[in-house]
Amino acid sequence: MEKTTKQNEPLVTHIFTADPSAHVFEGKLYIYPSHDLDHDGPSNDNGDQYAMEDYHVLSMEDVNAPCVDHGEVLHLRDVPWASQQVWAPDAAYKNNTYYLFFPAKDKDGIFRLGVATSPNPQGPFQAEKDYIQGSFSIDPAVLVDDDESAYVYFGGLWGGQLEKWQTRTYQADAEGPAPTEPALGPIVAELSEDMKTFKNEPQEISIVDEDGNPILAGDEDRRFFEGAWVHKYNGLYYLSYSTGTTHKIVYAVSENPQGPFVFKGTILKPVIGWTTHHSIVQFKDKWYLFYHDCSLSDGVNHKRSVKFTEIQYNVDGTIQTIDPYGDE
């Protein structure tokens, strides 16, 4: 008998999954996670412990229905340009096609963004022969707006190599800004109609406080670290992301998909494990936060499990802060 899915519990327990990107396709919830592998390799700030090699697709008919694993839909060996580490992906639908966007290191050990396609939301996906030209860093998240224009958001510090691209050419020894300088923001690029190339040059997103001042690099409770996600609510664009070192999911709001975004607050308090990575999706008349933690593996950072919980908006459009273990 299949197990019914419950909020704040692992969606699946037969494999370790992380970095869930949730979407509603064909009336169902589809979740596109990364797939953690158990191994004896090093664990460090460069992210070598995250040695993922393939992607699975999960789906649910309803939030209370069993979660189905559709199996492996893309493997590293089938990506001609990639050498290792297929990390957090996202999916999008346009042109009667499903697109899987993903990061991986190229043959030179530099993270790039790739895209794969399928006629079905559950895959399997066929990778393009080369990465998206002009792409770099990690954690792609795609918003197909109401007018069918599409934007990809990406970037991640430390192992995600974002600091090394401040000049828009790869500088292996580059470091991030000083604590008193503006923090590095996530990157946004509009996608071409075919969803496989950038329509324009990638631009850094500005995240500011309520007074219009840039969030500083030393402000680790608010500054961007990785895992950007953008969704729309009541006509506004909500940029949410991980703060990394302080282990929160926070958010900022804008009237423009490319910003600037005004910081608003915390969505999710820290979970068990180092990383935190999420997505936000509306399903029927409710909104849900998909995230991961390491509760199933007793805190092993590269053995994570995808979970979800309902989120609530206040009348003024702000999001109520969630304690992932508040009801235990």
Please say if 19 is a catalytic residue.
Answer: yes
Please tell me the distance from the alpha carbon of residue 49 to that of residue 32, in angstroms, as a whole number: 20
- Please identify which of the residues 209, 226, 316, 328 carries the catalytic annotation: 226
Contact status, residue 170 vs residue 239, Cβ threshold 8 Å? no
Rg (CA), the chain: 18
Distances from the Cα of 254 to the Cαs of 73, 188, 218, 281, 313, in angstroms? Answer: 35, 14, 23, 18, 16
String of b and e for 140-157 (b: at least 16 CB within 10 Å)? bbbbbeeeeebbbbbbbb
Which residue in the block uniquely carries the two structure tokens 């090699």? Answer: 53
Distances from the Cα of 307 to the Cαs of 7, 16, 174, 327, in angstroms? Answer: 7, 11, 35, 15
Kindly report the three-state secondary structure assignment for every residue of 27-48.
CEEEEEEEEECCCCCCCCCCCC
Q: Which domains are delineated in the chain?
A: 16-311 (2.115.10.20)
Please tell me the distance from the alpha carbon of residue 214 to that of residue 55, in angstroms, as a whole number: 36
Please tell me the distance from the alpha carbon of residue 133 to that of residue 50, in angstroms, as a whole number: 25
**What pTM was estimated for this model as a whole?**
0.96
DSSP string, 174-206: -----TTSBPPPPEEEEBPTTSSSBSS--EEPP
Beta bridge partners of 29: 24, 60
Pairing type for strands 187-190 and 203-204 reads antiparallel
**Exposure of 226 in the CB half-sphere (CA atoms within 13 A):** 25
- Please identify which of the residues 9, 19, 53, 130 carries the catalytic annotation: 19
pLDDT of the chain along its 328 residues, tens only?
356 678 899 999 999 999 999 999 999 999 999 999 876 675 666 666 767 999 999 999 999 999 999 999 999 999 999 999 999 999 999 999 999 999 999 999 999 999 999 999 999 999 999 999 999 999 999 999 999 999 999 999 999 999 999 999 999 999 999 999 999 999 999 999 999 999 999 999 999 999 999 999 999 999 999 999 999 999 999 999 999 999 999 999 999 999 999 999 999 999 999 999 999 999 999 999 999 999 999 999 899 999 999 999 999 999 999 999 985 4
Please say if 226 is a catalytic residue.
Answer: yes
Instruction: Give the residue among 246, 249, 290 at the shortest CA–CA distance from 266.
Output: 249
